[in-house]
Each structure stands twice: as structure tokens, then as C-alpha cells.
Amino acid sequence: MAVPSTGPRQALYSRARATLLPRSIGFTIIAFGVLFIALSLTQRRLDFLLLPLIAFPLGSFVGFMTATVKVDEHSVVIAFCDIFKRTLRRDEIATVTTDNAAGPSGYGVRYMGPGTVGYLVGGPEINIQLKSGKTVIASTNRPEQLIRILTEVEN
């Protein structure tokens, strides 16, 4: 007979993808790269190939950026494009709120004033206020579930 696992009571994985504006900008940058490849071939100039070397990675980064929030029993890990990560212990969290109608407060890892950092890709956001007074804001596709899990009292 299998023994039930003693893992976390509730865990959550949330990955928010870039909204329409950054996706459009990213795909436009990629399209300019393709345009310069065609221009390089028709004009027989190799110096025009420098722009696609910059445009493809930059356009891909902007068009496909993500914000990931992983919650387990002891911590909350927030990552932007799986490059910039921040780990918060659950016992450091004072309050968690949401702004489902969040406007474009920027995209990317953002310094948003003293003690406030945002990991934003557009769309709904959660605001995590720490006991130290600092605030972490992250885009998420499941704000209500995150709030419910993070504010749940351990029995």
C-alpha cells in the first residue's frame, strides 16, 4: 500500500506570458531582422547582417517574456524569463493583494520606487508586501489562487 507523500499541503505554479503590446513589438523587431536579411541578399552587403544578429534575440526576448510565480510550503519564487529570480520566505510575507485591472506599469524587471520591485509582463498582478516594508509586484495569470494560498493559515 502506498504511503501518502508528506509534501506541501498546497503548491502553485503560475506562468504569465507577455500581453499583446510587447508581443507585437517583439514580432516587429524580428520582422525588421528578416527585412534586413533580404536587403543584405539583394544589395550583396554583409554589413546589413549585423542588425538581424541583434534583432532576433532582442525580438524573441521581448515577444516571449514570461513572469513565473512558484509557491510551495516554505517559499515563493518569482522569476522573470527564468533569468532574474527572487525567493521570498513565506514567513516574511505580511500582506498579499491583487490588481486585476492593472494597466501598463511597464514591462520587465522594474524598480518602482523605494523598496518596490516589479516582475511585469502585463495583465493581472499580485502585490506582496513583506514585513520589512519592501514590496514585490509580479504579473500572474492566477491572482486569486495565489492570494488564497499565500494567506492560508497553517493548521
CATH number at residue 123: 2.30.29.30
Task: Specify the range with the lowest mean pLDDT, choosing from 27-41, 91-105, 112-126.
Answer: 91-105
* Contact status, residue 138 vs residue 113, Cβ threshold 8 Å: no
Is the domain of 38 the same as that of 102?
Answer: no
Q: How many domains does the chain have?
A: 2
The phi and psi torsions of 103 (rounded to 5 degrees) equal -85, -175
pLDDT, greater one: 132 or 154: 132
pLDDT digit string, tens, across residues 48-77: 788 889 999 999 998 999 999 999 888 999
**Residue 112: C-alpha distances to residues 61, 109, 138 (Å):** 21, 9, 12
Beta-bridge mates of residue 16:
67
The C-alpha cell at 24 is: 507585437
Domain encompassing residue 27:
20-63
